[in-house]
Structure 1
Amino acid sequence: MDRTNEPPRLPGGSFAAWSRDRLAAACHGAECGDVWELEPGVYVAAAAGPCEAVLHRAQDFPKPPSPLFPPLKRAAGAPAPQERAHARAARMHGLRPQAVAARIGEIAPGTARCADQWPTGRDVEVLPLVRSALAETGVRYLFTEDAPALLPFAQRLFTAREVLVRPSRWVWPRWVPTPARRFRTRQQVAFTDALRAVVRRRRSSGRLGDDVLGQMLRPSSRYGTLPEEAVLDTLPGITVATFETPSRAAGWILLHLARYPGAADRVAAEAALLPEDPAATTGAHLDRLQYTQALIREVLRLHPPSWLLTRRAPRRTRLGGYTIDAGSTVLVCPYTAHRDAREHPEPDRFRPERWLDGSGSPAKPGVFLAFGTGPHGCEGAALAMAMLTLLTAQIARRYRLSEPPGPEPGYRVTTFEGLTTEGLRLRAVAGDPRS
């Protein structure tokens, strides 16, 4: 086999190194080249240019279907690909930045309640607390008045997802009905049945709603009315995504508030200008939280929750000057792309100001990939940024955070399904954090 035009390989047994420490192996591989080979047929796009190219070239590197919430088996069959595309377009009507900005007053109260209910004066495990608040906020954004009835089903969907992606020594074929997959299917069926009742009630009453579900139920001049199954099959994944990935991001953000009190003070100063009544918060208030948003972008640059994205090449193609054979897997690595000194001076330094002083721009291709990019970029990016910005502001406004004392970090970094501060514990002290 001619290997003269293949990317460099990580020396020293790359797959073994990858299994031991995926972040360290990714950084070591990035030193070998912008595109490198993990093992035969598996390549890593490690720099901004190749990452951007893979994510935008959907024909050459299509996104594989998610195995987490596959279509349920029904007599009527799964929705056609075109119906799924129409369902995604309908969802985006309610998730685009303008739509999110118009509903900031509905998002802000949930983040304020999370801050109000934070236990003070003792070490608290952060992620369950934040996840509960963001789940309530995200599900309410999707389903408004029906959110209380659907929230328990959404939380059980998340639990099923966590069980399914838990690392295991055995990798079973997708058709094997393992206990985790059967549990996932039961929760998916329960959520779908509960949502079906909501969809039918709204359609029969004619009150479709102005939330994301309402946008999906509203007839379109382009494709008419979406079939019921197209609405139901495409919502479990986005429902969990509204709080699962933002919760991982929130762990890193709150950890940085604890470690950088000067930055926390600047966030608190901005947050002091928010309305006392969270429901009165508007998109204009959110736009004024410029340093807060810069801090969040900087944390997500250093610790992108979705730090590794998988694409496959159905045909022979080129990437970064190399030939990629058909059937190959390409791993897109925002973690290393974000730490490229050619794009970000002092890449390992936490410096939120880089997003304010003109040296960094999230619009520059490949520079900010925390939410992906291209045709399969994160649908909920605007909603996630709004929730994270308001949550960060409300917590910094009320508390000073600190890590538990001791030489060892109070969390474990996990990388299997996302970059997570598992078990993170922080302590909140009430009062003006600037005092």
Structure 2
Amino acid sequence: MPGGGFAAWSRDRLAMARRGADECGDVWQLEPGVYVTATAGPCEEVLRRSQDFRKAPSPLFPPLKWPSGATTPEQRAHAHAARMRGLRPQAVAARIGEMAPTTARFADQWPMGRDVEILPLVRPTLAEIGVHYLFSEDTPALLPFAPQLFLAREALARPSRWVWPRWIPTPARRFRTRQQIAFTDALRPIVRRRRSSGRLGDDVLGHMLRPSPRYGLLPEEAILDTLPGITVATFEAPTRAAGWILLHLARHPEAAARVAAEAAVLPANPAATTSTHLDSLRYTQALVREVLRLHPPSWLLTRRTPRRTQLDDYTIDAGSTVLVCPYTAQRDPREHSEPDEFQPERWLDDSDSDPPAKPGVFLSFGTGPHGCEGAALAMAMLTLLTAQTARRYHLSEPPGPEPGYQVTTFEGLATAGLRLRATSRDRERSCFE
């Protein structure tokens, strides 16, 4: 692409991705050995062909060195399968009543009458929901470690002029290891207590402690290795998504009012909320889905090619990098009418448009073997947070010509520094009466 390359990419990655899709089509080459899939077809193909386009091992929380030896890839795969059982949509649906009180408390405690930086308020709320979903009654012992695990993630994610080999103990990596060990040391006695008592629990940890007919009982080390990463994942990307959602509630008051009217059917006691109540929030879920389409928190996914393969018109050599871009795929006019417009109705069967809008590609949670395992949990958390907030408040941005936030794209698509103001809907109604 003329004027392309990493210099232009680093200046404005979103603009470069849009330009590549517009000028070069479905697949384009950023630099030798680096390709970008920009539209639905090739994006889905890469994500589903996991043998030809492999997901790089996560460097965030690598397996620790145990006295008994490192866990094997097979044991880690079994641990992942056990974890997935606790994250299935049916498992999430059964625990909606445990999540709703925390989202209601978040809405109740929003400071009114002033502009508030919102992501630092959202993050601990979603962390509490995520940690409770994973560890249930043991949340008080493990929740204090969530902020430190997040800081370790942030430290490793900061852009750097140098790409150090993984074996070099940089300060960020040493900090990561300290937090990982501290979390693991707190989790180990919980695992042993549950196993010795026989009360395994119905949370995600409980699913991992149950023996499987296929592979039996998971080693303790395999359980401990797999949980720091998923603990951060339960609230990191959802926090980015929540920032965009709350911003859209502020910018689209009619949509926010529709969410508020829909949320009025939620029980006065949030703990009484069930999956039936959640299913009734159809417009709210459509709004969340539409925001995720426009602003996918994981807007760029990296895959590596272990062998020479074919993709579109390219022969891609072994060792190449393929960047999958849901951001452009979900803004493709062939997939969505008026793709840059915010239209939650496109996800409703009874859309007011004539003819009804036809839902297009949706890759915000990925797809294929490495699709987001926490998609159902994330949708439940975000839908409840959106409904409870819109039910209580009208949101607005600070006055002024400049946006009150900065778009960041390095590790995910986020609204850094986003500030919003909340006004009570009850107070607004009383002013007009």
Question: Could you state the TM-score of these two structures normalised by the residue count of structure 1?
Answer: 0.95
1:197 counterpart = 2:189: yes
Q: Judge conservation of contact 2:249–2:255 (CA < 8 Å) in 1.
A: yes
3-state SS, counterpart of residue 263 of structure 1: helix
- Local SS of the residue matching 1:330: strand
Whether 1:62 aligns to 2:60 is no
Contact 2:195/2:209 (CA < 8 Å) preserved in 1?
yes
**8 Å CA contact retained: 1:301, 1:335:** yes
Residue 285 of structure 1 is matched in structure 2 by 277
CA drift of 1:295 comes to 0.5
Instruction: Quote the offset at 1:84 in angstroms.
Output: 1.2
Could you tell me which residue of structure 2 aligns to residue 378 of structure 1?
Answer: 372
State the Cα distance separating 1:432 from its structure 2 match: 3.4
Aligned with 1:58: secondary structure?
coil
8 Å CA contact 2:66–2:221 kept in 1: the answer is no
Contact 2:4 2:30 in 1 (8 A): no
Corresponding residue for residue 7 of structure 1? none
Partner of 1:11: 2
Q: Note if 1:411 corresponds to 2:405.
A: yes
Which of 156, 159, 162 is equivalent to 2:154? 162
User: Is the Cα–Cα contact under 8 Å of residues 150 and 191 in structure 1 kept in the other structure?
Assistant: yes
**RMSD of aligned Cα (Å):** 1.1
Correspondence 1:16-415 to 2 at 5 A: 16-31=7-22, 32-356=24-348, 357=351, 359-361=357-359, 367-415=361-409
Alignment partners' CA distance in 2, 1:171 and 1:85: 28
* Deviation of the 1:247 alpha carbon: 0.2
Listed one character per residue, the Cα deviations across residues 42-87 of structure 1 (whole Å, up to 9, x for unaligned) are 0001000000000001111111100111111223222211111111
For 2:164 and 2:215, how far apart are their aligned partners in 1?
A: 39
Rate the CA distance shift 1:243–1:127 in 2: closer, same or farther, 3 A: same
Deviation at 1:186, TM superposition (A): 0.1
Mapped to 1, the partners of 2:158 and 2:164 lie a distance apart of: 13
Name the count of aligned residue pairs.
Answer: 422
- Please state whether the residue corresponding to 1:409 is helix, strand or coil: coil
CA distance in 2, matches of 1:353, 1:434: 26
How far apart, CA to CA, are the structure 2 residues paired with 1:59 and 1:434? 56
Give per-residue Cα distances to partners, 1:383-430, cap 9 Å, x unaligned: 000000000000000000000000000000000000000000000011
> Percent identity among equivalent residues?
79
Q: Distance in 2 between matches of 1:333 and 1:76?
A: 41
Tell me which residue corresponds to 2:418: 424
Query: What is the alpha-carbon distance in structure 1 between the residues aligned to residue 96 and residue 186 of structure 2?
Result: 27
Letter in 1 for 2:329: A
Gaps of 5+ in 2: none
The answer (yes or no) to whether the contact 1:268–1:433 under 8 Å persists in 2 is: no
Distance 2:427 2:257 in 1: 7
Alpha-carbon separation, structure 2, partners of 1:398 and 1:165: 35
Structure 1 alignment gaps of length 5 or more: 1-9
Bigger shift: residues 249-258 or 67-76: 67-76
TM-score by length of 2: 0.96
**Contact 1:396 1:433 (8 Å CA) reproduced:** no
Q: Deviations over 1:195-247 (max 9, x none)?
A: 11110111111111110000000111111110001101011111100000000
